[in-house]
Amino acid sequence: MNTVPEDYIIEAQGLSKHFHGFAAVQDVNLKIRRHSIHALIGPNGAGKTTVFNLLTKFLQPTAGTIRFNGRDITNVKPAEIARQGLVRSFQISAVFPRMTVRENVRIALQRKLGTAYHFWKSVSTLSVLDDRVDELLDSVGLRSFADYSAAELPYGRKRVLELATTLALEPEMLLLDEPTSGLGHEDVDRVAALIRKVSANRTVLMVEHNLSVVSSLSDRITVLAAGRILAEGNYETVSRDPRVIEAYIGGTDDE
């Protein structure tokens, strides 16, 4: 019998991170349901980025364990995590500014296929790749920008391109660090719609400051404050929680 808990793709237990004795994250127990959109929110300095970095193994926890698909990944390196299907976007995804949108997506796909250095050997590999590039460009709405250089893209579209290069890796779980930060209204809506679309057959965890995006997208929300979980639930539940209101009002939020 399979003893892996089926409901949760991520299970972090007793997660703590200390920086020179300062507890940035303390005793966090976080479960993320498969195929859900889960948001991590909280006032500035709450520990969101630290938790995000712990889950993607960019930081090593001081204490605690992390399981991904039932497997202990506490001591696994970031590259191996990505191979297992847990991929973070925006900060890691490489977009080459002088290359076109199409070339950027193609390179990301080549990386996934592992054919980066010998793809030219086979014409059939090439055409399969071209079809896939077009498919991906269509799915994120970038087809009409295909021949723009990445540097020429409007900022919002650049974020979409970053997401597309991440999606090329076909991640089972996507971690998004402030996916709508710095975007104008229209772009926020576009990226939010895209997140919903790409979440259809995968799990998404996002750190997000824009509460309207959080409320419209998230199935579940974890509120962090001072390194600990303050509240958890759907948007209705957490937004009415007096402790959450207090943490936001009492915090030093710069928004």
Cβ proximity to ligand ATP, 92 vs 113, nearer residue? 92
Classify residue 242 by burial, with Cβ atoms within 10 Å: 0-12, 13-18, 19+: exposed
42 binds ligand ATP (CB under 6 A): yes
Please give the Cα distance from 111 to 168 (Å, whole number).
9
Please work out, in degrees rounded to the nearest 5, the angle formed at the alpha carbon of residue 238 by the alpha carbons of 235 and 244: 135
46 binds ligand ATP (CB under 6 A): yes
Cβ proximity to ligand ATP, 47 vs 171, nearer residue? 47
Size of the site for ligand ATP (CB under 6 A): 11
- Of 11, 28, 36, 48, which lies in the binding site for ligand ATP, with binding defined by CB under 6 A? 48
Cβ proximity to ligand ATP, 47 vs 64, nearer residue? 47
Cβ proximity to ligand ATP, 47 vs 179, nearer residue? 47
Least separation in angstroms between residue 118's CB and ligand ATP is 40
Cβ proximity to ligand ATP, 46 vs 194, nearer residue? 46
What is the footprint of ligand ATP within residues 71-90 (CB under 6 A)? none
Cβ proximity to ligand ATP, 110 vs 222, nearer residue? 222
Q: Which stretch binds ligand ATP (CB under 6 A): 41-49, 134-142, 184-192, 241-249?
A: 41-49
Cβ proximity to ligand ATP, 110 vs 210, nearer residue? 210
Please give the Cα distance from 13 to 17 (Å, whole number).
12
Q: Which stretch binds ligand ATP (CB under 6 A): 46-54, 66-74, 85-93, 166-174?
A: 46-54
Classify residue 42 by burial, with Cβ atoms within 10 Å: 0-12, 13-18, 19+: buried
Least separation in angstroms between residue 39's CB and ligand ATP is 13
45 binds ligand ATP (CB under 6 A): yes
- Of 50, 110, 210, 222, which lies in the binding site for ligand ATP, with binding defined by CB under 6 A? 50
Binding mask 7-26 for ligand ATP (x = CB under 6 A): ------------x--x-x--
- Interface contacts to ligand ATP, rule CB under 6 A: 19, 22, 24, 42, 44-50
